[in-house]
Every structure is written in C-alpha cells, then in structure tokens.
Structure 1
Amino acid sequence: MSRSERLLQLLQLLRGHRYPISGAELANQLNISLRTLYRDIRSLQAQGAIIEGEAGLGYVLREGFVLPPLMFSAQEIEALVLGARWVAERADAQLAEAATQAMSKISAVVTPELRYRLDESPLLVGPSDNHSFCQPQVLDIRRAIEAECKLVIQYQDQQGQQTERTIWPFAIGFFDNVRLVVGWCELRNDSRNFRVDRIASLKVTDIRYPRRRQTLLNDWYRQKNIPRK
C-alpha cells in the first residue's frame, strides 16, 4: 500500500467514527506502527484535516475537510467514469450535463496517470432505445422533490384507467428501461410507485407537503425492509 493510499484509508476510518478512536486501534486496522500513525496524522493535519485528540486519548475528524481528488485510486476513478457515462446516456439532459462537468473538474486536478484513466477507461455504457426517462416530466418531478412540493398528476394504471392523483414525491427510481416516482399518494393514503411513462400530465404546485422528504424516504425504506447504503 502506497503512503497516499494509506492516508486515504486513515481518513476513511476516521470519517466512520463519530467519537474518538484510539491510535492503537487505528494502527492495528492499517497494519502500521503507532509511530507511523502519528506521522500520518500530522501529515493530514498539515494538509488541512481537523483531527482532534492526542496519544492515549484517541482521535476524531471534524467536518469540513475535503479530500483532494488526486488521492482517488485508479479503480475509484474508473467507477466514477462508468457512473458518469451511465448518467450521460440514461438520465435527463440536466443530469447528463452535470455528470460531464463533474468529470471535467476532476480531470483538471488529478495526476497525469489518473487523467489517462479518465480519458481511456475501457468501461463502456451501451446505448438505449428507451427515451421515456428523458421526458420533460422528469425535470419537473426532480424540481418538485427538491422543493418538497406536491404534484398533481393524471395517471394511467396498468389496466388503462386514468385517475387524478395528488402525490408527495420524495424519490425517483432509475431502472434500465423505466423511471419510477416514489411518493405519498393522498388518494390511497400510502406510499405508491408511479411510472413516469404513464403520467399523462402533471402540475408542480407551490404547496409544501407536511412531512420532510427525508422522513418519507426513511419510512419507505423501513416499510420495504430495504437496507440503507
């Protein structure tokens, strides 16, 4: 393991603990000596990491330190490339443009070796002939989710019956061939999934729904027994 990789792993270990973790435990997990650990902590502090604590008491990383992109590993860079390419091919125009801009920013600061990985990654995303997820509705839905505002939709179910629903959208599921809006349905008084390609029309209201988006999402995770990642 290179020193830069070790420093990155040390930061990740510290980020995973809200309370002080002993130097002995950190050194054991990194398979290094305490002397090397203390030197690495001083290096991170010199780079701007707010690491509080001292030998015998433990260490904790305070919020606010941004990891330089140049410390990404080669595989992490390729994972970012693959994700950005998927978004560019499968998401709406705004997200596609954001993915391209993000990769340009990373390319401007990484080392030449990692820049080569960015430009020449062999991990490709195939084209898709399903463009339902590129409909203008997706942008409106994302805007409603961000603002935590109610949506009024004309929705056609699997049997072809159309109903008007007022929903509290709190997530969008990105599948290969379909996009699902997850929201609280006032008609059903429960959480429901709505296929974007079955929404005939929608209106973003300026009415805030009464519960926070994250609360609705957390309740949905628990209801579906889906582990958080």
Structure 2
Amino acid sequence: MKRLHRLTAILVKLQSKRIVQAAELANKFEVSLRTIYRDMQALAEAGVPIGSEAGTGYFLVDGYSLPPVMFTEKEANALLTALKIIKTNNDQSLINEYQEAIEKVIAVLQTTQKKKLEILDQRIFTYNQSARHPSNSLSIIQQAITNLRVLEIQYTKASDEFSKRLVEPLGVYFTNNTWIMIAYCRLRKDYREFRTDRIQHILETQELFPSQKFTLEDYYNRRAHLYRTNISS
C-alpha cells in the first residue's frame, strides 16, 4: 500500500474508533511500529489534531472531522450486498436504519458508480423466508444499550403468558433468524434473554441504569459454568 493511501486509511480508522493502538495499525497495514510512528508524526505536521496517551493509543481531538469519504467500487458493492443480507433478518427496524444509511452512501457516489450499483442490485438475490412474528425493536434496544436506558417492555413467553417488565439491556445476538436481547430483568432480579419477536411493545424510559463491565464472552462463560455445575451436582 502506498504511503498516501495508508495515511488516508489511518485517518478513517482514527475517526471510526475512540482510541487506536499503534500495534493495531501496524498489524492492519503490515508495517513496523516505527513506520506507524512516522505516519502519525506526518499527519500531525500536516495539521491533523492527533492526541496520544502513553500505553493507550492515538485519538482525534474532539471537533475534527474528515471530508466525505469516497468509496471504491468494491466497497460500495460490499455495502449493497450487506443490505441484501440484512433484509433477510426478522427485525424491520434494522432493515429501515440500514436502508437509510445506504442511501446516504449512494448519495456521495459518482454517477458511474451509481449506475453499476443499479445493475448489481438487480443481480443479487437472497432468499428471505417471511418471519412468522417479525420484530421491530432492535434499533431501540441498541440505542438503550449505549445510552444505559431502562426499557419498559410488554413480553409474551412461549407459553403465551404475558408480562410487563422493566429491564436493563446489556447485549444482543442473532440466532436461528431471531434477535435475542440479554438484559437484567427487575421482575426476576436476574439476567434473562428475551426474543425480540415476542416483545409486543417497547419503550425507552428516561431512567438510567449503572454502567457495568459486560461482554458476551463473559456472559456465555458464566452460563456454561452454571450449566456444568448443575449437571455435576
């Protein structure tokens, strides 16, 4: 990769993440740490406000933004293909949000790129089996996860039992064409998993819940440990 292209790619990476480590950039672009240090110095000398913290990484100073990014033909094709795949999932809110994002991307493409995308759009097909009970709550759940907002949900269990709950959303995962929300349920006073297609109504409240260290890996490790403990007892 030519240095100019690498410098541009580093800028995009810096804008996409809060903190970027030099080792991460070196691995991505297959260059030495010394080269990354020189690149950072070159960007700083060019007027890009780059901050750094020892042992943490590099970041862009708040308020700085890049001009609109131009997409390559392959990148635009990949985004269009991703849209086709997303349309096969069972959550309408995700489809709508991604569709709007793609439209913004298409708006900055050159005319020739737009024409090529129109051709490709007609020649990509993904089989979409209609969801029995489609979901429309994923976007709200995702927003509540990052904003630490308590959700009020009306939920129907597999037994058709209906309940109203306040939950603290912590994560989501996709399996068997269904989105699952992992949350702390205040009704059960424990972690629970909720199928989004069984959420009849959802409301993001103004109440905040305390931030906690949570990763899906830790969650599943705890679940596996409890399962093994129950089996052996």
Whether the TM-score (by the shorter chain) exceeds 0.5 is yes
1:90 lines up with 2:86 in the alignment: no
Please, what TM-score do these two structures have when normalized by structure 1?
Answer: 0.61
State the Cα distance separating 1:193 from its structure 2 match.
0.8
1:183 lines up with 2:178 in the alignment: no
Q: In structure 1, what is the equivalent of residue 220 of structure 2? A: 224
Q: In structure 2, what is the equivalent of residue 150 of structure 1? A: 151
Question: Residue 10 of structure 1: SS of its match in structure 2?
Answer: helix
Q: In structure 2, what is the equivalent of residue 66 of structure 1? A: 66
| 1:199-210 alignment, distance < 5 Å | 199=199, 201-202=200-201, 204=203, 206=205, 208=207, 210=209
1:125 lines up with 2:126 in the alignment: yes
Q: 8 Å contact 1:132–1:197 — kept in the other structure?
A: yes
Q: In structure 2, what is the equivalent of residue 193 of structure 1? A: 193
Question: Residue 5 of structure 1: SS of its match in structure 2?
Answer: helix
- From the superposition, tell whether residues 94 and 3 of structure 1 become closer, same or farther in structure 2 (CA, over 3 Å): same
State the Cα distance separating 1:123 from its structure 2 match.
5.0
In 2, Cα distance between the equivalents of 1:203 and 1:13?
A: 35
1:67-87 CA distances to partner (integer Å, 9 max, x unpaired)?
Answer: 6321x3444333322222333
State the Cα distance separating 1:210 from its structure 2 match.
3.0
State the Cα distance separating 1:102 from its structure 2 match.
1.9
1:124-160 CA distances to partner (integer Å, 9 max, x unpaired)?
Answer: 432222142345x667756765671232434324xx2
Q: 8 Å contact 1:144–1:151 — kept in the other structure?
A: no
- From the superposition, tell whether residues 180 and 21 of structure 1 become closer, same or farther in structure 2 (CA, over 3 Å): closer
Gaps of 5+ in 2: 223-233
Question: Residue 85 of structure 1: SS of its match in structure 2?
Answer: helix
How well do the aligned residues superpose, as a CA RMSD in angstroms? 4.6
Q: In structure 2, what is the equivalent of residue 6 of structure 1? A: 6
Q: 8 Å contact 1:69–1:106 — kept in the other structure?
A: no
Q: 8 Å contact 2:152–2:202 — kept in the other structure?
A: yes
Q: 8 Å contact 1:88–1:100 — kept in the other structure?
A: no
Q: In structure 2, what is the equivalent of residue 174 of structure 1? A: 174
Q: 8 Å contact 1:150–1:205 — kept in the other structure?
A: yes
In 2, Cα distance between the equivalents of 1:120 and 1:3?
A: 34
Please, what TM-score do these two structures have when normalized by structure 2?
Answer: 0.60
Q: 8 Å contact 1:151–1:169 — kept in the other structure?
A: no
- From the superposition, tell whether residues 88 and 61 of structure 1 become closer, same or farther in structure 2 (CA, over 3 Å): same
In 1, Cα distance between the equivalents of 2:150 and 2:19?
A: 33
1:105 lines up with 2:110 in the alignment: no
In 1, Cα distance between the equivalents of 2:188 and 2:6?
A: 52
State the Cα distance separating 1:114 from its structure 2 match.
4.5
Q: 8 Å contact 2:174–2:180 — kept in the other structure?
A: yes
In 2, Cα distance between the equivalents of 1:148 and 1:206?
A: 6
